[in-house]
Amino acid sequence: MPRTIKYDSRGIAHIYQRGFNMSVLFYSVKDILVFYTILYTKKNKYNVIVLGVVCMYNHYHLTVTAGSHEDIANFQREFESTYAREFNNEVGIKGRVFEPVYGLSNKIGGKKQREATAYLYNNPVEKQLSERALDYKWNFLSYAESDCPYSEKLVVRRSSKQMKKCLQKVNFMFKNGYYLNYDFLRECFSKLSAGETNQLVDYVIVKYKVVDYERTIRLYGSFETMIIAFDSNTGCEHDMKEEYSDKSYKPYPRLIHSLIHDYGFANPKDVLKLDYEERLRLCNNLIRTQHVSSFIAGTLLHVYQPKPKRRKRCE
C-alpha cells in the first residue's frame, strides 16, 4: 500500500504502528529491551531524534524529528525489520510481525506538538494500564528525572561478580554500536537476582538513551509543567485513526502471568510455537476461564482476525 502522507521536516512526526492483525509485540522485558536498543542504534544511523516512545503490548507510538522523509522511511524500515527478525528467531517462527504500513501524522506548531506528546505518554492511562503517565514503566518517562526509577541505586564496586560481568558486556555492546539480542539478555538475566535484574534493566535504558528528554521538556518549559499538563489532559490525535481495540489493556499482564504460572510457559512468547489450532483452543479456554474478550485473548495468541474493512460504494 503506497504511503500518502510524508514527513514534513518543519514539525515532528507522530508514528503509530501495531502488530500484524493487532497481535501482541511485547510479552516480556526482554522484548522491550531488544526493541528499545534496536531503536537506539537505528535512530543514530539515520540521525532521527526521538521525543517520545511508548510500548503498548500490541502497538507502539513514536514522536520523532529528522532531516527528511527518506530518513524516517529508512529508519522505520530497518528498525522494524530488525525487531521482526529477532522476535521471530527467538521462538523459531516465521511470518509478519508488523502491519505493512505504519501511521504517520505531522505536527507543526507548539499546540499540536504538545497534544501529540501528551497523547503518546498518556496512552497507558487511556488503556487503563496506569493511573498517570508517570506511573507507566514502558513510556520511559521516569527516566527523564532518574537513572534508577525501578531499582536500588547501582554502585558498581559493591556489585556481585556476575553483575559486573553483565555491565561490562553491556558497555562493550554499546561502545561498538550493537543492540542487545535475546541470547545476550537471557544469559545475563539467568545469572542475576531479581533485584540485580531490575538494576540491569535500568542501566540499559539509561545507557541506550533513546529519548531526547531536554527537547521534549522544552515544549512545556519544565519537567514539572509537562507532568502537570499530562495529568490534566490526555492529549489527542485527530489526524490518524487507530483501529478498534478494547478500551482496557489491563487483562494483558494477567493473561501473560497465567501463561507462565497456569500453563507452564517459562517464556510466555513460547506459546507462539504451538500450531494455529492449539492456540485457537487455548484462546477459547482463556476467554472462558479468564473472562476476557476475544480481542485480548486472540491478539495475545496471534489468532485474532480483524473484520475486513468495507469498501465505500461508488455512486
Q: How confident is the model at residue 307 (pLDDT cuts 50, 70, 90)?
A: confident
Work out the mean pLDDT of the chain and round it to a whole number. Answer: 93
pLDDT digits over 6-34, tens only? 999 999 999 999 999 999 999 999 999 99
| Percentage of the chain lying above the pLDDT 70 cut | 92
pTM over 0.85: yes
Angle between helices 182-190 and 161-175 (to 10 degrees): 160
Residue 21: C-alpha distances to residues 5, 47, 202 (Å): 22, 30, 31
Q: What is the pLDDT of residue 315?
A: 35
Strand ranges across the sheet with 103-107: 49-55, 59-65, 12-18, 103-107
Alpha carbons 290 and 38: distance in angstroms, whole number: 34
Q: What is the pLDDT of residue 216?
A: 97
For residue 184, give the C-alpha cell.
545476550
Among 46, 86, 250, 76, which residue's Cα sits nearest to residue 184?
86
Average pLDDT, integer, range 292-300: 97
Q: How confident is the model at residue 311 (pLDDT cuts 50, 70, 90)?
A: very low
Q: How confident is the model at residue 313 (pLDDT cuts 50, 70, 90)?
A: very low
Residue 176 has pLDDT above 90, yes or no: yes
* 55 strand-pairing partners: 60
Q: Which residue has the higher pLDDT, 137 or 247?
A: 137
Q: How confident is the model at residue 241 (pLDDT cuts 50, 70, 90)?
A: low
Q: What is the pLDDT of residue 312?
A: 44
pLDDT digits over 93-124, tens only? 999 999 999 999 999 999 999 999 999 999 99
For residue 48, give the C-alpha cell.
532521527
Task: Tell which CATH architecture fits domain 12-147+209-232.
Answer: 2-Layer Sandwich (3.30)
Average pLDDT, integer, range 248-258: 97
Place of cell 475486513: 308
Q: How confident is the model at residue 309 (pLDDT cuts 50, 70, 90)?
A: low
Q: Which residue has the higher pLDDT, 61 or 311?
A: 61
Q: How confident is the model at residue 1 (pLDDT cuts 50, 70, 90)?
A: very low
Residue 235 has pLDDT above 80, yes or no: no
Please, where in the chain does CATH 3.30.70.1290 lie?
12-147+209-232
